[in-house]
Structure 1
Amino acid sequence: MDAFLPLLSYLLRNLPSPSEVIEWFRHIPKLTAVSGGILLWLALVRTCRWRRFNAIHRKYGPRWKDGKGSITPEEAQKIVAVSIMYDMPIVLNYAIAFALFKTYGIPSISKLLASTKELKSKETVSRRYADTGILIATWVGCPISGFLDPSLSAINRVPDPKPADDPRAMIALARTNWIHSKYRISNEDYLYTLSLFVLEPITWATRFGWRKLSPLEQHAYYIFWVEIGNRMGIQDIPDTLEGLRLWSEAYQETYMVPADTNKEVAGYTVEELLSPVPEAFGLKALGERMVICLMEDAVRESTSYAKQPWLLHKFLVAALGQAAFVQRWFLLPRSHEKFPIVSKLPEVDEKVRYPRLHPNKYVYQPWYKPEPTSACGIFRERLLVKLGMYAEMPGPHLKSFGYRLEEVGPVKFENDGHEEVLRRAADLQRCPVAGPWSLEGRNDRD
């Protein structure tokens, strides 16, 4: 250390002055300076953009061992979160949306959806779209173990287990199971829908993402959704990702055929997706054409949409490819997650009506959006309505006070099944639902 001090002192005494540094930069050719700046930026983007990807592969790759090892559903959920919350949230959330849309090409599914009458008006379509997004996002974004530290779940298998830290995922899943129990749904239709949640993100990342999902990530999607399927009581799930892919393709080839109900439910959904798009200058018609371009031919034919011009298809693919290229090489990654719900466990405030939750993303009919309280907030919301982003101002009729997971779903079931849902949630996570997430906690505040 003593030998180092004279060298440090010498370097400090001989540092160039700011004027000398500026003069040195002036002598660098502009082309060299610009090229160097671009190269430095590309290196920075490359280092930062792959940071989360590299971290999960360092942590979980050795456990998976290229398929020779294994990962748990809780670990799979952590792996899935990187791609769907940070790296490609827009692409992969649309993959999930189009996975649901793809089920409309199966007549047995579309007939059931049409019979519920939940897709018969703008109000019911919008509510169903919002509720479905909330439920699915809650399974994905909140810990399926119920604990912020998944290792606590393994040691909580005792006669008197402690309550879960965050039971939202299993409350949402239990609510979904309870709603589904009101209808006759075949195991094959359940399994086909489940397969799309595994396979469509893989396909969309390959087609439109700035990177593909790695083999580890693809396996994680399979492990996570198989766990969800098991907790939904789905039977005969194939033992491998490739087996699931082959089963799904065979089922689709056999049962995806045109039907009036396919076209009906698809039409309502496309209209909901394009609600914020104005009709002026043919923008809404163009938007519908672009949605059709994103469909596979089998889906398009089963929902009775006309084939679009090849030039429009090529333009759309090129535009999405260019966006992915720019994102990969020139844009820094997100510093915060982008997701339809708040995945972080909210703090409970004993002084207010809580916990009622609000999503991060709102549909055209802004369900569960808080009412603005300031003049600036009111002006902003009115401006968004004028611009056509939302159909109307938030209000109590759109549940601006927020949602409880055990209440989410069709209006006719809104006040039913709460006790059973929370009991099922406790069974799914093998520990109690207590505190503000329980019915007692809700009633204390409501």
Structure 2
Amino acid sequence: MLMKNDIADRSPGAAPRGRYGWVHRIEQLDPVRDHQEIHRITAGFEFPWDYQRSLEFALFRTYCVPTVSELLQRTGEFEKRPQKRYDDTALLMAELVEHGYDSERGIESLRVVNRMHGKYDIDNDDMLYVLTTFIYEPIDWIDRFGWRRLTPHERLACFHFYRGVGVRMGIKDIPTSYEDFYRFKADYERKHFRYTEDNHRVGTYTRDLFCSWFPRPVRPFVAQGVNALLDPMMLSAFGFDAAPVWLQHSARRVLRLRGKFVRFLPPRTSSKAARDARNRSYPGYPVGYRPRDLGADKDNHRGALGPSLS
């Protein structure tokens, strides 16, 4: 088991000086050869909050695909244990970012991911599409709401990082260029996004999960806030009503103001990629846990909270 004194801060070299110190470090690296180190700096040091939020919406976006939502609805996982399913996915991806996909913990995490996916007959194009959301949704989010835009090195590193993950998941025909994979994503959404009852159910479970993180009296406002951040294609595929225009503008303005505030903070000196003290299903993670303890078939591990929506 991973004990507290085993958790080392794998900061990539000495902490940088100045708000753009990590950017200067990134520019000294190669986005192909050093993509894992670059992506860890971006997601763990520069934009951990933005990456967490954007990946929440990236996963949400995949539920607009009828074959994806139908599978999730059939398994019942998002109806019965939405918090744990969310935590499993977030922590497994964070393990890959924090430790690298060829590290001991990274290999263990990929085994868990492949074991869970191996139970089902999943179309390769669906797997490709889900992979694209992990690349392009955070990039789009940070460009709109981050304290700075991502550099070309960071964009390419993100692409090569998740392409490496996809190869190790056995996903076939992954495009070899950033631009080609983005075109696949856009074409796939135009072809496959459409309303179904399963989309609506899984989308509602997920939105309710987001709302559950807030006090009960404000949850209706949170639901409207979530709708305010969804684009028309997603709203249509889920069958959700659009939020009032004033709320759409306000939600985006608040996020942009947050980015402007963060710009004046000092650079982070320790990675937050895989450390979230507020994790609900695995209190204290990563202390006392391994990636193999995560996953749909590990629901009883250490008294995990399961379907808690508190």
CA distance in 2, matches of 1:400, 1:199: 27
Q: Which residue is 1:443 aligned to?
A: none
CA distance in 2, matches of 1:309, 1:278: 22
Q: Which residue is 2:293 aligned to?
A: 407
Q: Which residue is 2:205 aligned to?
A: 268
CA contact (8 A) 2:228 2:248 kept: yes
Q: Which residue is 1:136 aligned to?
A: 93
1:412 offset after TM fit, Å?
A: 6.7
Q: Which residue is 2:240 aligned to?
A: 305
CA distance in 2, matches of 1:401, 1:224: 26
Gapped runs of 5+ residues in structure 1?
A: 1-46, 65-70, 147-166, 342-359, 371-398, 416-446
Kindly indicate whether residue 133 of structure 2 is the aligned counterpart of residue 217 of structure 1: no
Is the alpha carbon distance of 1:204 and 1:101 closer, same or farther for their aligned partners in structure 2, counting shifts above 3 Å? same
More RCO (CA 8 Å, sep 6+): 2
Partner SS, residue 120 of structure 1 = helix
CA contact (8 A) 2:105 2:291 kept: yes
1:329-408 alignment runs, 5 A limit: 330-341=264-275, 360-363=276-279, 366-370=280-284, 402-408=288-294
CA distance in 1, matches of 2:268, 2:65: 37
1:362 offset after TM fit, Å?
A: 3.3
Kindly indicate whether residue 71 of structure 2 is the aligned counterpart of residue 115 of structure 1: no
Kindly indicate whether residue 205 of structure 2 is the aligned counterpart of residue 291 of structure 1: no
Q: What do the CA deviations read for 1:241-280 (whole angstroms, capped 9, x no partner)?
A: 1101111100000101001111111111111122131232
Partner SS, residue 230 of structure 1 = helix
Amino acid at match of 2:21: R
Amino acid at match of 1:215: P
Partner SS, residue 89 of structure 2 = helix
Q: Which residue is 2:118 aligned to?
A: 181
1:132 offset after TM fit, Å?
A: 1.2
Q: Which residue is 1:95 aligned to?
A: 54
CA distance in 1, matches of 2:213, 2:133: 27
CA distance in 2, matches of 1:362, 1:127: 13
Amino acid at match of 1:174: R
1:336 offset after TM fit, Å?
A: 2.3
1:131 offset after TM fit, Å?
A: 1.2
1:126-275 alignment runs, 5 A limit: 126-146=83-103, 167-275=104-212
Kindly indicate whether residue 42 of structure 2 is the aligned counterpart of residue 83 of structure 1: yes
1:339 offset after TM fit, Å?
A: 2.6
Q: 2:260 aligns with which of 322, 325, 329?
A: 325
Partner SS, residue 49 of structure 1 = coil
Is the alpha carbon distance of 1:232 and 1:414 closer, same or farther for their aligned partners in structure 2, counting shifts above 3 Å? farther
CA distance in 2, matches of 1:82, 1:91: 13
Quote the sequence identity (%).
29
RMSD: 2.1
1:431-446 alignment runs, 5 A limit: none
Gapped runs of 5+ residues in structure 2?
A: 1-16, 302-310
Q: What do the CA deviations read for 1:25-75 (whole angstroms, capped 9, x no partner)?
A: xxxxxxxxxxxxxxxxxxxxxx61100111120x21xx46xxxxxx22xx1
CA contact (8 A) 1:340 1:361 kept: no
CA contact (8 A) 2:83 2:209 kept: yes
Amino acid at match of 1:369: P
1:106 offset after TM fit, Å?
A: 0.2
1:120 offset after TM fit, Å?
A: 1.6
Q: What do the CA deviations read for 1:334-362 (whole angstroms, capped 9, x no partner)?
A: 23222333xxxxxxxxxxxxxxxxxx343
Amino acid at match of 1:367: S
Is the alpha carbon distance of 1:239 and 1:227 closer, same or farther for their aligned partners in structure 2, counting shifts above 3 Å? same
1:82 offset after TM fit, Å?
A: 1.6
Larger radius of gyration: 1
Is the alpha carbon distance of 1:400 and 1:205 closer, same or farther for their aligned partners in structure 2, counting shifts above 3 Å? closer
CA distance in 2, matches of 1:84, 1:408: 21
1:400 offset after TM fit, Å?
A: 11
CA contact (8 A) 2:40 2:273 kept: no
CA contact (8 A) 2:274 2:286 kept: no
1:309 offset after TM fit, Å?
A: 0.9
Partner SS, residue 320 of structure 1 = helix
Amino acid at match of 1:337: S
Is the alpha carbon distance of 1:238 and 1:306 closer, same or farther for their aligned partners in structure 2, counting shifts above 3 Å? same
CA contact (8 A) 1:130 1:362 kept: no
Amino acid at match of 2:84: R
CA contact (8 A) 1:118 1:128 kept: yes
Amino acid at match of 2:95: T
CA distance in 2, matches of 1:103, 1:265: 10
CA distance in 2, matches of 1:332, 1:408: 34
1:414 offset after TM fit, Å?
A: 7.1
Amino acid at match of 1:101: F
CA distance in 1, matches of 2:286, 2:101: 27
1:199 offset after TM fit, Å?
A: 0.6
Q: What do the CA deviations read for 1:91-141 (whole angstroms, capped 9, x no partner)?
A: 1111111111100000000000011111123xx111111111111111111
1:81 offset after TM fit, Å?
A: 1.3
Amino acid at match of 1:91: D
CA contact (8 A) 1:53 1:82 kept: no
TM-score by length of 2: 0.87
